[in-house]
Amino acid sequence: MFYLVARNLEAKSELGRQIVHLIVGILIIGGLAILWKFSAYWHMLALAITWFTLILYCSVINLHSRGIKTPIDPLFNYLGKRDRFAGEGALWYLLGVMLLLAFLDRFLYVISSVYILAVGDSIATIYSYKRGYKRSFFKGRTWLSYLAFFIFTLPLSIFAGVKIIPLIILCAVFESLDFRINDNFLIPVICAIYFTVF
């Protein structure tokens, strides 16, 4: 019984983590869309804002590691259960977005990549936890997890064309494999390489 309660709490914690993951991605896409709409220099502004956010966030992580309380400590404690250090997942998220902005300058490619990261990754993980998450090289993924990843990211093809479909499949496969590289960075790397080559 205690095991079932613990599993339920773990699943709820992971659900909360993935909902935040999804919301952050949508907010980033919204922010990029506003910059793109109102400034010809959206790309440089986005890079500058990301750099500033990264420096600020690293400062908060440093304060937390030294035992100095910050307003986002509860988030570290609740959302960082799988992190190796406080705020690791969000740090890789920021670095992933920065990588995309550094290598891609087309607005559609950048937001498509962030969408795959935000929606595909979170949906696949949520579905795995619903089915009973198991630690393995395939991170507990089933064919339904892959299907959920694909279906929820497929709407990108309306805007980016069929060119995006192989990338979606590639990200779904690589996201499910445990390469000891955080998904929040791995998926942007795959997207940056794909859009640079193709």
Task: Please give the pLDDT value at position 139.
Answer: 58
Task: Write the pLDDT tens digit of every residue in 135-146.
Answer: 544 556 677 888
pLDDT reported for residue 72: 77
CA distance 118 to 97: 11
**pLDDT tens digits along 45-59:** 999 999 999 999 999
CA atoms in the 13 A half-sphere facing the CB of 75: 15
Instruction: Give the torsion through C-alpha atoms of 162, 120, 58, 69, to 10 deg.
Output: 160
Q: What single-letter amino acid sits at 26? A: I
pLDDT in tens, 62-82: 888 888 887 777 777 666 666
Residue 128 sits at the vertex; the CA angle it makes with 100 and 91, to the nearest 5 degrees, is: 30
- pLDDT tens string 112-135: 999 999 999 898 888 776 555 455
Stated pTM of the model: 0.86
Q: What string of DSSP letters covers 142-187?
A: -HHHHHHHHHHHTTHHHHH-TTHHHHHHHHHHHHHS--SS-HHHHH
Do the Cβ atoms of 94 and 49 come closer than 8 Å?
no
Over the chain, what is the mean pLDDT? Answer: 84
Domain of 96?
Answer: 2-197
* pLDDT for position 137: 44
Closest CA to 147 of 124, 176, 130, 114: 124
pLDDT of residue 107: 97
Question: How many structural domains are present in the chain?
Answer: 1
Report the pLDDT value the prediction gives residue 111, as an integer from 0 to 100.
Answer: 97
State the CB neighbour count (10 A cutoff) for residue 11. 16
Tokens of 102: 């550094």
